[in-house]
């Protein structure tokens, strides 16, 4: 009898440990649903001054990434100097040079233009200020120490996998994209590669960066008798615009996919009448954690990976509550 009691207690303890390890956190930079290895009990205090130069802080993903980086920097008792280039390459160059004057120790950069940013990168290099590139591509990669980017190809791929499961016979689809943005294009490429030879026909490609033209083309598609089964969007901003138009036209029978994972698009998954079928989700929170750890390693002469693909994954109605809708994952 005593032996059975001991065995029962041991099994109970093991079960509690297992369940604790499986729990996913959600919602904020402090609560990251992308589970990594166990975090250390406390982070070192570095007191570094970081610069964060963003191509466009009106982009919800970039804003969330800034917040995630900022949370990690604050946790380490450092400071973050933030500048928004507002998609103006010349403005970004001026802001980056100003960061040199401010005495930053390292710069996090999302580039407004892959070529125009070169003079500022050369100035930073001359000043021995390292750069960590986030989410964007540049021509002079050797002027940066590390590059972190979401695995956008996989984000598109997981959407394609879900579509093939839902429509094994194929169908007609529209792609809303931004061909000028390499990261967004990678997501669309992953999606198209996965559905290749699956009976799907791309009947229209729309430039999602030209809002009014996009609305005109979508209006024609949604009012047409010819059936469109699927709309794939390169990011959440495009998907939100498409979803609004679909709702207004009463065309909620079209499957809508997006790459991103913003709170608004995740919340739409909870609406059973909404057209959104799934999201190839990126994690600015996880990227922010990795970015600051990488930056510290660079400044402390530690080891780090020069190129990091940040994990992406699929979110739909079945699992959205795990990740939450009140913040990014």
Instruction: State the average pLDDT for the chain.
Output: 88
Give strand pairing partners of 308. Answer: 148
pLDDT range class, residue 3, cuts 50, 70, 90: very low
**pLDDT at residue 224, as a whole number:** 83
Answer yes or no: do 137 and 158 share one domain.
no
User: Mean pLDDT, to the nearest integer, of 181-192?
Assistant: 94
CATH number assigned to the domain comprising residue 289: 3.40.50.2300
Answer yes or no: do 163 and 245 share one domain.
yes
pTM: 0.84
In whole angstroms, give the CA distance from residue 319 to residue 329: 13
Provide the percentage of residues in the chain whose pLDDT is more than 90. Answer: 78
Say if 318 falls within a structural domain. no
In whole angstroms, give the CA distance from residue 304 to residue 87: 30
Answer yes or no: do 64 and 111 share one domain.
yes
Give strand pairing partners of 82. Answer: 52
Say if 7 falls within a structural domain. no
Say if 87 falls within a structural domain. yes
Answer yes or no: do 199 and 260 share one domain.
yes
- Residue 232's domain comprises 152-281
Answer yes or no: do 233 and 274 share one domain.
yes
Say if 184 falls within a structural domain. yes
What 8-state DSSP symbol labels residue 31?
Answer: B
Answer yes or no: do 131 and 157 share one domain.
no
What 8-state DSSP symbol labels residue 29?
Answer: T
For residues 237 and 250, the answer to whether their CB atoms sit within 8 Å is no
Answer yes or no: do 157 and 270 share one domain.
yes
Answer yes or no: do 181 and 277 share one domain.
yes
**pLDDT at residue 250, as a whole number:** 85
Render 201-235 in DSSP notation, one character per residue: EEEEEEETT-HHHHHHHHHHHHH-SS---EEEESS
Q: Domains in the chain: how many in total?
A: 2
Say if 235 falls within a structural domain. yes
For residues 88 and 45, the answer to whether their CB atoms sit within 8 Å is no
Say if 122 falls within a structural domain. yes
Q: Report which secondary-structure segment, H or E, holds 200.
A: strand 200-207
Q: Can you state the angle between helices 152-166 and 182-195, rounded to 10 degrees? A: 30
Q: Strand, helix or coil at 124?
A: helix
Answer yes or no: do 258 and 194 share one domain.
yes
Render 146-194 in DSSP notation, one character per residue: EEEEE-HHHHHHHHHHHHHHH-TT-EEEEEEE-TT-HHHHHHHHHHHHH
Answer yes or no: do 145 and 287 share one domain.
yes
Say if 13 falls within a structural domain. no
Say if 232 falls within a structural domain. yes
Answer yes or no: do 188 and 302 share one domain.
no
Quick one: tokens of 71? 């949370």
Higher pLDDT pick, 225 / 264 = 264
**pLDDT at residue 252, as a whole number:** 84
Answer yes or no: do 213 and 291 share one domain.
no
In whole angstroms, give the CA distance from residue 300 to residue 76: 14
In whole angstroms, give the CA distance from residue 114 to residue 11: 56
What are the φ/ψ torsions at residue 205 (nearest 5 degrees)? -115, 130
| CA dihedral angle for residue 114, residue 116, residue 119, residue 122, rounded to 10 degrees | 0
**pLDDT at residue 2, as a whole number:** 37
In whole angstroms, give the CA distance from residue 135 to residue 146: 11
In whole angstroms, give the CA distance from residue 229 to residue 232: 10
Q: Does 178 have pLDDT greater than 80? A: yes
Q: Does 4 have pLDDT greater than 70? A: no
Q: Does 39 have pLDDT greater than 50? A: no
Q: Report which secondary-structure segment, H or E, holds 279.
A: strand 276-281
């Amino acid at each position: 009898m005593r032996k059975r009691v001991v065995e029962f207690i041991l099994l109970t303890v093991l079960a509690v440990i297992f369940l604790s390890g499986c729990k996913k956190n959600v919602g904020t930079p402090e609560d990251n649903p992308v589970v990594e290895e166990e975090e250390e009990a406390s982070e070192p205090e570095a007191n570094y001054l970081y610069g964060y130069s963003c191509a466009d802080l009106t982009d919800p993903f970039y804003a969330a990434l800034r917040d995630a980086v900022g949370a990690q920097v604050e946790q380490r008792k450092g400071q973050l100097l933030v500048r928004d280039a507002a998609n103006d390459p010349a403005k970004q160059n001026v802001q980056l040079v100003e960061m040199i004057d401010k005495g930053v120790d390292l710069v996090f950069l999302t580039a407004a233009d892959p070529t125009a940013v070169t003079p500022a990168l050369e100035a930073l290099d001359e000043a021995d200020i390292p750069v960590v590139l986030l989410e964007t591509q540049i021509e002079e990669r050797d002027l940066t120490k590390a590059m972190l980017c979401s695995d956008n190809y996989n984000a598109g791929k997981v959407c394609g996998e879900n579509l093939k499961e839902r429509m094994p016979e194929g169908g007609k689809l529209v792609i809303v994209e931004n061909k000028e943005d390499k990261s967004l294009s990678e997501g669309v490429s992953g999606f198209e590669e996965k559905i290749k030879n699956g009976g799907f026909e791309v009947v229209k490609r729309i430039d999602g960066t030209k809002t009014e033209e996009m609305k005109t083309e979508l209006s024609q598609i949604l009012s047409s008798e010819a059936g469109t089964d699927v709309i794939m969007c390169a990011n959440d901003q495009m998907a939100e615009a498409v979803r609004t138009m679909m709702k207004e036209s009463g065309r909620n029978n079209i499957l809508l996919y997006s790459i991103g994972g913003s709170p608004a698009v995740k919340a739409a998954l909870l609406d059973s009448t909404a057209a959104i079928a799934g999201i190839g989700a990126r994690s600015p929170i996880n990227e922010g954690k990795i970015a600051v750890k990488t930056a510290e390693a660079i400044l402390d002469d530690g080891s780090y990976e020069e190129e990091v693909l940040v994990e992406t994954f699929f979110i739909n109605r079945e699992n959205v509550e795990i990740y939450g809708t009140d913040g990014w994952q």
